[in-house]
Structure 1
């Protein structure tokens, strides 16, 4: 009676096609993750649309922000959320109003995650702010005086005046990105969507670490 030969154990070389297939799928994902957090290595034109503020600027008491009722505006009330910020000096003209409306549209465009996105208008114009705030409900308004204005300009990395630009405040209350005055709202939206995706990853990772 002929003996039935037992199957030969799989050799390392027999798994080579499988490892190649895994690498083909894994490497692009790992590269995308690394490049997202290291955008300086991206080719020109593929970086985030906004300009990173380095170092970041905590929106703290040194700027002397006040609310429309004359009370101290506490930036910590915005912590935990991504905040679209517009800075304006003097009366809010048509371009300023358009930018405030764009902030509202950007927030709505992120869909379900709009609940972790807020809006803040920092202005020197105490007279015209209440009317505009009433027209754009849900927008936080903070008044800034001359000393706070100068402190803000000194804190910003560039010498140019940053009013009429849109900025992004991170969940820790720090100005971390800014845009040209004529930047399309779509650019701000894309960057914000990327930041929200990254936030989800951090939250998922933090929850997983906490459950270990």
Structure 2
């Protein structure tokens, strides 16, 4: 037996390398993913009290589809390139009346209130017609991703309550690219902000590998 071992380790004899254990690798993955998996599981699956404190969960979640969106200059844009952000989405005509302006103001305030988490949040205004955009809202909406959309496509993707129109609600898309929540038309700003900040807090451990630069 000893001679066999000696022959096995003689100079010039190649010893097959041992396969590296994957245990350490999977432990690192598990530890890194645990906070985000746990928070998503609690919020989406367990759902304390059966529902969020305000707003409505979209069940089942709806991945962002292939929408025919363009910038105001007519350049095609795939909304899915913004995966990694929490997307706050509102929709409305280009004329953007007082109701529309209130929504743009609200999501801007939510963005500001996110503090150090602002880099994880993107505001999106989906313009539902081809009319000229109200120039008066462009400055207050600075930093908002403004895209022209086809309303018939949006109605298939964005859930609406009975009697609701596209202009009115606020929708949330999570960083994984799933439409997961709707706040009602004329949403209560304080209650909406409270839920949104809780979502940001519960997912703070998840860091996207890449975030597409915003306009």
Superposed pair shares fold, TM > 0.5: yes
Stretches of structure 2 that go unaligned for 5 or more consecutive residues are: 1-38, 208-215
- In 1, distance between residues paired with 2:166 and 2:46? 23
- In 2, distance between residues paired with 1:144 and 1:94? 20
Alignment of 1:72-83 (within 5 A): 72-83=76-87
- Give yes or no for the alignment of 1:50 onto 2:52: no
Q: Secondary structure at the match of 1:200?
A: coil
Residue 91 of structure 1 is aligned with which of 92, 95, 100? 95
TM-score, with structure 2 as normaliser? 0.67
- In 2, distance between residues paired with 1:41 and 1:115? 28
Name 1:152's counterpart in structure 2. 154
Name 2:141's counterpart in structure 1. 136
Q: Secondary structure at the match of 2:198?
A: helix
The CA RMSD measured in Å over matched residues stands at 2.6
**Kept in 2: contact 1:110–1:189 (CA 8 A):** no
**Kept in 1: contact 2:64–2:179 (CA 8 A):** yes
- Give yes or no for the alignment of 1:180 onto 2:184: yes
Stretches of structure 1 that go unaligned for 5 or more consecutive residues are: 1-32, 204-212
TM-score, with structure 1 as normaliser? 0.68
Q: Greater helix percent: which structure?
A: 1
Residue 167 of structure 1 is aligned with which of 166, 171, 183? 171
**Kept in 1: contact 2:86–2:174 (CA 8 A):** yes
Change (3 A) 1:60 1:155: closer
- In 2, distance between residues paired with 1:75 and 1:128? 22
Pairs aligned (count) = 166
- In 2, distance between residues paired with 1:87 and 1:171? 20
Change (3 A) 1:175 1:133: farther
Q: CA deviation at 1:91?
A: 2.8
Q: Secondary structure at the match of 2:138?
A: helix
Deviation string 1:170-199 (CA, Å, 9 cap, x unpaired) is 112222111111211112211111111221
- Give yes or no for the alignment of 1:60 onto 2:65: yes
**Kept in 2: contact 1:120–1:139 (CA 8 A):** yes
Q: Secondary structure at the match of 1:171?
A: coil
Residue 120 of structure 2 is aligned with which of 113, 116, 121? 116
Q: CA deviation at 1:105?
A: 0.7
- In 1, distance between residues paired with 2:132 and 2:77? 18
- Give yes or no for the alignment of 1:105 onto 2:112: no
